[in-house]
Amino acid sequence: MKSRTALIAAFAAVTMTVTACNGGTNAAAEGDGTTLTIASVDQGSIEKVVDAFKAANPGVTVNLTTSGADQYQQQIRTQLASGTAPDVMTVWPGNGNPGATYVIAKPGYLLDLSGQPWAARLPDAFQRVAQYEGRTYNAVFGLNGIGAVYNDRALRDSGLTAPGTWTELLAFCRAADGRGTPAFALGIQDNWVTQLVLYALAATVVYGADPGFDAKLQAGRATFANSAWTTAMAKYRQLADAGCFQDNPLGTSYEASQTLAATGKTLGIIQGNWIISLLKRKDPAGTYTMRALPATDDPASFVMPAAAGAGYGVNAKAKNRDLALRFITFVMSPEGMKLFTETQGSLPTLPDAGTAVDPGLAELQTFVREDRTVPFMDQLWPNAKVQQTMLSGLQEVFSDQATPADVLTDMDTDYKAGS
Amino acid sequence: MQGRRHAPPWWFTLPALLLFAFVVLLPSARGLHYAVTDWDGLNPDFTVVGLDNFTAMADDPDAFGAVRHTLVVAVAITVLQNGLGLLLALGVNSAIKSRDVLRVLLFAPAMIAQIVTAYLWRNLLGPDGAVNSALGAIGLGGLRRDWLGDPDLALWMIVLVVVWQYAGYSMVIFLAGLQSVPKEIYEAAAIDGTGPVRRFWSIIRPLLAPALTINLMLSIIGGLKLFDQVYAMTGGGPGHATDTISTLIYKEAFTLGEFGYSIALAVVLTVIVAVASGAQYTVLSRGERAAS
């Protein structure tokens, strides 16, 4: 009898423990009104914004954690599913990665920010990727572009000038290679880097010629394999064959590629504008200029990939919702946006921020102003798999395990499966 | 009657059993449940899809590749790590003066976190890393390679790094076995004029059988579950050239949000580990009994 009582007591204890844990995951505990928790991937730039926010809100404590994108995406999904996510979190625009707006807003994990004063002022291109089913969930504060970033000093020392057409680009690569200093650093050991050159080429080759390509893709009237994406892929290979990149790009990490470009071992790097602040950390005296990557011989046809960068969303179960909204309002205010974008090296998404843009980004600014940009291609793809197939596929192309046609066909399969 | 009065009540084991059930059995059972769903790890609404996740593996070339790489890596690590570990143990079991220092140095890599050694070797094996520089410096520049960027080499580089790190670990276990062999047996063998090969095969090998069982079990299980070194050194690339089942599980879950499929892969890995280690244990324990 005693044994049975003990058994029941032990079972009850475990049941209560399990129940308590479940309660913890589902219920949003009330916060203290003064402590804000933030998880971010903006390492090196959000810290200044948080300091300014704290200065403007005396008595507020901010618990900030930052991490790399891969680690962050793993962590935030687990935290959201278990009810332990922070009040404010990095959210990527559109779809196509595990931490993107559509992915997190769809199951109801993000607070609707449509009523915030800045939401209606976001330009259409940003609203499209900051919204899910017509409601705004992402405070997108910065815009990023992709292009050829030249190390001004290395370029000057080489006696070469930045190419203005596709033919000039190939000649530039051959000349640079002949001088023993390859044109561009390429660090595709980290597979996310593989997409950047392709996006820079596809912007002009695919979207410059057919701005409605995405709509056709979504409607099933176009495919990657039977489109100008094949041309973009072929041009990527041509760049490699012309000696545009250093030896062994597959063994070169993103970090190592930065060192090559910053120290003048290459004349530049094809990357996003965020690279400029990273290059300056390695060589504070260096200056860098971003230009559109030529993809045809008609400069008037050039289009640059430029799109909303990662922004911030508010946890639908935020413990300190008011404080979280106050932080988001600060990020999207002229003061917060200016601070964020200047530190990060991006362009502001709202026109009145007054950001002092790095002079090296003048051409990107011009392209944005003239509406000669296209969003990063993956942002409107139906699932994360299309992009992942492309990333690993490009590594396979560079290591002769697959052909560009194989990769594009696989991307079509994944696109159809997810649409 | 006396013994019965002093036997502890059976329910004394209950706290441990319930804890085990709570932290091991319950999550495992829930895992099995998720393996037959289309859960994305985030959306609370998901549906049971039966065995779809398992049948999908049959059409997934990435899964096939990962299983193949996992088996190759596990076998290669088991053979090389234990072969080298045994040689090292025999070496440092001899009467050489520096044996204590050598034992510490050879065991040291096993004490370093896997992720640290993986990043260290990622840098050493880079195109401009120390390995290629050293080859150039000694006039072997022709052997310089993109060690981790070449799909034919990358997996073997990972195997070598694991063997480098854990051969010392195997050595220590073999060394413990060797030191349990009574000196008198060696002396008797010496008096009988037994050569080193015969001495190893007839005396040392049977007495090392328990150490061999432990080492082989540990290395095959470690090899089958290999993750850290692969993820840190190559991320499974180039392409999928070095993906193991563990890295594929990670990617499917956290990069692609395919938790149901990922957990189904984990179930398959569990079955492979259970079958491989069970079969190995059966064979080895039979060998131990025969040797004793």
One DSSP character per residue, A376-401 reads: -GGGGSSSHHHHHHHHHHHHHHHTTS
Element (DSSP H or E) covering residue A290: strand A288-291
pLDDT the model gives residue B256: 86
Backbone angles phi, psi at A256, to 5 degrees: -65, -35
| Chain A residues with CB-CB distance to B12 below 8 A | none
A180 φ/ψ sector (left φ>0, alpha ψ -120 to 50, else beta) = left
Q: Kindly report the length of chain B.
A: 292
Is-contact B239 A402, C-beta < 8 A?
Answer: yes
Give the three-class secondary structure for A189: coil
Whether A250 sits inside 8 A of B146 (CB atoms) is yes
pLDDT at A344: 85
Query: Could you report the per-residue pLDDT of A359-407, keeping only the tens digit for each?
Result: 899 999 999 889 899 989 988 898 888 999 999 999 999 999 999 999 9
What ipTM is given for this predicted complex?
Answer: 0.84
Which residues in chain B (225-244) have CB-CB distances under 8 A to chain A?
Answer: 234-241
The Cα of B263 is separated from the nearest Cα of chain A by a number of Å equal to 15
- Beta-carbon contacts of B180 under 8 Å, excluding residues fewer than 6 positions away, are B207
B99 burial level (CB within 10 Å; 0-12, 13-18, 19+): middle
CB–CB contacts below 8 A, A to B: 116
Higher pLDDT residue, B100 or A160?
A160
Chain B partners within 8 Å of A383 (Cβ): 256
Record the pTM: 0.85
Residue B257, Ramachandran bin (φ over 0: left; ψ between -120 and 50: alpha; else beta): left
Q: What is the pLDDT of residue A3?
A: 47
* Stretch (H or E) spanning A268: strand A268-272
Residue of B nearest to A72 (CA): B254
Looking at residue B5, its pLDDT comes to 63
Question: A26 in contact with B at a CB cutoff of 8 Å?
Answer: no
Cα–Cα distances in angstroms (integers) from residue A225 to residues A236, A296, A388, B59, B275, in the given order? 15, 20, 17, 21, 43
b/e burial code for range A156-190 (CB count within 10 A of at least 16 → b): eebebebbebbeebbebbebbbeeebbbbbbbbbb
List pLDDT tens digits, range A221-247: 999 999 999 999 999 999 999 999 999
pLDDT for B4: 55
With cut-offs at 50, 70 and 90, classify the pLDDT of residue A2.
very low
pLDDT of residue A10: 43
Residue carrying the six token digits 């059995």: B25
Interface of B with A in 142-161 (CB under 8 A): 146-151
Using the predicted structure, report yes or no on whether residue A327 has a pLDDT greater than 60. yes
In this prediction, residue B171 carries a pLDDT of: 96
Best residue of B45, B135, B146 to probe chain A, by most A CBs closer than 10 Å: B146
pLDDT at A23: 37
User: Which residues in chain A have their CB less than 8 angstroms from residue B148's CB?
Assistant: 189, 250-251
The count of other CB atoms within 10 Å of the CB of residue A343 is 16
Residues lower than pLDDT 50 in chain B: 1-3
Residue A88: helix, strand or coil by DSSP?
A: strand
pLDDT higher than threshold 90 for residue A115: yes
Residue A66's DSSP bridge partners are A40
In this predicted model, what pLDDT tens digit does every residue of B133-189 receive, in sequence order? 999 999 999 999 999 999 999 999 999 999 999 999 999 999 999 888 787 887 888
Beta strands in A105-162 (DSSP E): 131-132, 135-136, 142-151
Task: Write phi, then psi, for A148 (nearest 5 degrees).
Answer: -85, 120
CB contact under 8 A, B14 and A7: yes
Pick A351 or B37 by higher pLDDT: B37
Beta strand residue intervals within A309-397, DSSP E? 311-314, 347-348, 373-374
* Contact: A392, B239; criterion CB under 8 Å: yes
Binary contact (A107, B44; C-beta < 8 A):
yes
The mean pLDDT value of chain A amounts to 90
Radius of gyration of chain B (CA): 24
How high is the pLDDT of residue A30?
64
- Residue A419: pLDDT band (50, 70, 90) is low
pLDDT at B41: 85
